[in-house]
């Protein structure tokens, strides 16, 4: 029987790890990574987070230790989520967040860069990201923006390098920028949660921060977070944030939204960050626990996808392992 000859066209550049490494346009580096940190005022011992292997909600002291461990792994950029002991609906007390940042900066100074999440969802008794009207049927945009801009100045004053508003109110980036500038914090940057979708994949995070919406009125975040069905709104919101003064534009979740990362990257010269969120992370962990995939390789594969789609910055709960995994996993 005659055997046809089909010449190799693409397979020669897949022959071994050497040539695969040489020819891959995506080169990951742990230097692009940000590690999220949770700090809870109400606890004396760190607690685990359901589904988020390797991540704990810390006390201030244990968080200092976590940062130190990350520095040893080459990770020097962090995103802090402060969880206050008291839930309120107004007259919020931001002193724990400010104290925490101050302490962290006192210990580590310029050795690290730290952004602080700015949102009210871990502060409010109803779990929404801002202030609700009396009937709990609406989230009040302007009132919330006023509170968030004030909060941002307290964090900047405490030493935060960057403010990361995740509330999704309209106009908050401009308001925060103006207030920071007016108070002399021109050097403090803003990483806007520019395209933040209303997603099922924040579940483990809400557990960690006690921040799931539980109001009898407004039941979910769909009136302020983006619809997964509307990329136009995502791009318009992100480009609006850029105009208002955001220094970094974030897309979140990340792995399910690489189309948004790619399209945003085409329309902006600002750095784009992709936040591989808690539920996305936990999904990999759950599959790994079932023996259905290789944990390390799966995380690295997602990171490659994020960078390939245009992300300059990756926010991952496994940042501490990034250097080791990137080096060890052969491509």
Q: Active-site residue numbers?
A: 196, 252
For ligand PBG, the closer of residues 219 and 267 by Cβ is 219
Burial of 252 (0-12, 13-18, 19+ CB in 10 A): buried
What are 36's two structure tokens? 């999220």
For ligand PBG, the closer of residues 139 and 277 by Cβ is 277
End-to-end CA gap in the chain:
38
* Least spacing, CB of residue 232 vs ligand PBG, in Å: 21
For ligand PBG, the closer of residues 207 and 312 by Cβ is 207
d(CA 62, CA 293): 31
d(CA 166, CA 129): 8
For ligand PBG, the closer of residues 203 and 331 by Cβ is 203
* Least spacing, CB of residue 277 vs ligand PBG, in Å: 4
* Least spacing, CB of residue 138 vs ligand PBG, in Å: 17
């302490």: which residue's tokens?
103
For ligand PBG, the closer of residues 53 and 331 by Cβ is 53
Q: Which residues bind ligand PBG (CB under 6 A)?
A: 117, 119, 121, 129, 166, 202, 205-206, 277-278
| Nearest of 99, 35, 33, 58 to residue 209 by alpha carbon | 58
Burial of 75 (0-12, 13-18, 19+ CB in 10 A): buried
* Least spacing, CB of residue 198 vs ligand PBG, in Å: 8
* Least spacing, CB of residue 1 vs ligand PBG, in Å: 58
* Least spacing, CB of residue 35 vs ligand PBG, in Å: 12
For ligand PBG, the closer of residues 37 and 67 by Cβ is 37
């Amino acid at each position: 029987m005659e055997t046809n000859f089909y010449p190799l066209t693409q397979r020669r550049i897949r022959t071994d790890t050497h040539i695969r490494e040489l020819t891959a346009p995506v080169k990951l580096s742990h230097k692009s990574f940000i590690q999220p940190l949770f700090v809870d005022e109400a606890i004396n011992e760190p607690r685990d987070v359901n589904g988020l292997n390797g991540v704990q909600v810390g006390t201030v002291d244990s968080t200092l230790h976590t940062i130190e461990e990350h520095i040893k792994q080459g990770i020097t950029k962090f995103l802090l989520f402060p969880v206050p002991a008291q839930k309120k609906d107004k007259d919020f007390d931001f002193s724990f967040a400010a104290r925490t940042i101050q302490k962290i900066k006192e210990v580590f100074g310029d050795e690290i860069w730290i952004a602080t999440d700015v949102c009210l969802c871990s502060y409010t008794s109803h779990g929404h990201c801002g202030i609700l009207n009396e009937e709990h049927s609406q989230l009040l945009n302007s009132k919330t923006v006023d509170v968030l801009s004030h909060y941002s100045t307290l964090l900047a004053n405490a030493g935060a390098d960057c403010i990361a508003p995740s509330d999704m109110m309209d106009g908050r980036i401009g308001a925060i920028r103006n207030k920071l500038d007016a108070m002399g914090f021109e050097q403090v940057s803003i990483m806007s949660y520019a395209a933040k979708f209303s997603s099922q994949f924040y579940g483990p995070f809400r557990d960690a921060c006690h921040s799931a919406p539980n109001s009898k009125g407004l039941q979910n975040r769909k009136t302020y977070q983006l619809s997964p069905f509307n990329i136009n709104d995502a791009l318009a919101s992100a480009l609006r944030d850029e105009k208002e003064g955001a220094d970094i534009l974030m897309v979140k979740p990340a792995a399910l939204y690489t189309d948004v990362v790619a399209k945003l990257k085409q329309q902006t010269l600002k750095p784009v960050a992709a936040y591989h969120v808690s539920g996305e992370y936990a999904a990999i962990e759950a599959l790994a626990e079932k023996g259905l995939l290789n944990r390390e390789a799966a995380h690295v594969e997602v990171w490659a996808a994020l960078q390939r789609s245009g992300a300059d910055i990756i926010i991952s709960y496994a940042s501490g392992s990034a250097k080791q995994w990137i080096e060890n996993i052969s491509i």
